[in-house]
Structure 1
Amino acid sequence: MSNRTLMVTASLGVMSLMALTACGTDKSDDPKASGGSASATAEAFKGLTGDQISEKARVAMTKLDSFRVKGSMTTDGKHMTFDFAVAKRGACQGTFGTESASAEIRQVGGAAYMKGDEKFWREMGSEDGSSSEDTEALIEMLKGRWFKMPAQDAKADDKFPFCDIGTMFEKDEKEGHLTRKADTDVNGTPAVTLKGKDGAATQTLLVAAEGEPYALRLTAEGGKEPGSFDFSAFNKPVTVTAPPAGEVMDPEKLKG
């Protein structure tokens, strides 16, 4: 049951990997040509293509000690929301959920912890094909408690991507292309707009034009997994603590 939940979480990180990549060049990436103006924002990346700006953002994100990512997306036909604080060395904490269920996540000290509400565990039991009796028994065991999954025992595909800055912003060598469009701002921060296609989806990446070129927002419209990511709280301290031992369920008790 936990593996399926982790895979759903992992799917949230996939979109952030696709646009934050620099491939090819484009001589038409002049902000004037795409509707922008000769402003301080335009001067921030003067002479650079959209792909080159995107690569600067990707590298800047990998150098962060911490950040916050918040947003929503639709995956496997379900609308999901998420809000995570991320630190280096695999530590993170946050929440994600559907319209009717939610769960908390913490990863620290080489272990991952998950605490879902009753509806969350019931949905997971239904998706896994568990009997109603087994599902209700699980809900009773986990009521108000955290499920612990040792990170070292987890398969690579089951780990939380939000807890690894390097994984989230790993360079993607697949061919892609982003074109610079009109300048804008995100919550008052001047930003450049980069757009590109990924299959049926139109992706938009907004990059800070002042200070470090951090990714501020990434959206995907159309396609199979539309959604939006907002990045903030760059390098603000993140402290993640393991849940109290008395509130953690021993995974050995769930075997069988």
Structure 2
Amino acid sequence: MSALPRRATRSSSLIALALLALGTAGCSANGRPGEQHSWAKAGVPAFEALYSASSVTIDMKARRDGLDVHGTLQIGRGKECRAEVTSGRGGEVRVIRTADGTAYIQVDEAQIRSGGGNRPRQRVEADVRLFAGRWLKADPSAPMTRQIVQYCDIRKLIPADHTEIEEVDLTGTVTGDGRRIRFAAKEDGVMMRVFVNRGENPTVHKIEQIGGERPMSAVFSDFGEPIQVGHPPADEVLTPDEIRTLYRDSVADLARSESG
């Protein structure tokens, strides 16, 4: 995995920073294109400011297994969260978590069909009928639920200390429009870049990886904006018990139809 140069011999991945960077807005001021700034004076305070955000929106794009994936993630300092991710095959997954910690997951028909794998066609069609477009109330004990909602928890995305950030050793250059400072490092043919908004209170604007097997970008915005997340209408929600019952009955119906 490509990384930024650091004063220590260990490396600090910007891919990790893309998941960790959460922020608050800072005023922006124009600078002279080409003007240089140290990471210690611009990068570190930018990330420290981001860590204190009450909320943030992250627009991410990535390429995984030859397919383009993009999504939007809104995270609040509390438990509230909203995420929408579109896979390279066209399917969409939506996740919401309310202030009381209840999580819901919704997948559309395209996502169910694209994830069908080697399942029998009848099984895929049954899943489409049962679950497409329905909100599934997540079982908090399920490993998949924990994996999905971990990205909705600021406390899990931000490290306990800032050692990884503080040890980066780079000099940044003001961009042509004078609004941001660009820090860049190249390793093994992969370019990693961080764009920091200039001003008295610098903040991270964008993180990107160019090249390599997993190119990606993350743009941060709407810092401190309220996140409105509520429970879906009850008639659009399936509880874990209802999901298990529907699935069990569906499997039994398919078995009977095949034996008949």
1:174: Cα distance to partner?
6.1
Native 8 Å contact 2:112 2:132 kept in 1: no
Aligned residue in 1 for 2:91? 101
User: Which of 204, 208, 230 is the aligned partner of 2:197?
Assistant: 208
**More displaced 10-residue stretch of structure 1: 166-175 or 85-94:** 166-175
1:103: Cα distance to partner?
2.2
Tell me the amino acid that sits aligned with residue 93 of structure 2: A
Which runs of 5 or more structure 2 residues have no equivalent in the other structure? 1-13, 22-30, 249-260
1:124 and 2:115 matched: yes
- Distance, in Å, in 2 between the alignment partners of 1:199 and 1:111 is 43
Report 1:17-36 matches (<5 A): 17=17, 36=34
- Distance, in Å, in 2 between the alignment partners of 1:249 and 1:138 is 13
Aligned residue in 2 for 1:11? none
Please give the per-residue CA displacement for 1:205-224, whole angstroms capped at 9, x wherever unaligned.
11121243221111101122
**More displaced 10-residue stretch of structure 1: 147-156 or 234-243:** 147-156
Aligned residue in 1 for 2:15? 15
Aligned residue in 2 for 1:236? 225
TM-score (norm 2): 0.71
Larger Rg: 2
**More displaced 10-residue stretch of structure 1: 165-174 or 105-114:** 165-174
- Distance, in Å, in 2 between the alignment partners of 1:83 and 1:148 is 21
1:145 and 2:134 matched: yes
TM-score (norm 1): 0.72
Native 8 Å contact 1:85 1:92 kept in 2: yes
1:68 and 2:57 matched: yes
CA 1:52 to 1:153, structure 2 compared with 1: closer, same or farther past 3 Å? farther
Aligned residue in 1 for 2:208? 219
**More displaced 10-residue stretch of structure 1: 136-145 or 194-203:** 194-203
- Distance, in Å, in 2 between the alignment partners of 1:71 and 1:15 is 11
Native 8 Å contact 2:139 2:240 kept in 1: no
- Distance, in Å, in 2 between the alignment partners of 1:203 and 1:66 is 25
- Distance, in Å, in 1 between the alignment partners of 2:43 and 2:18 is 11
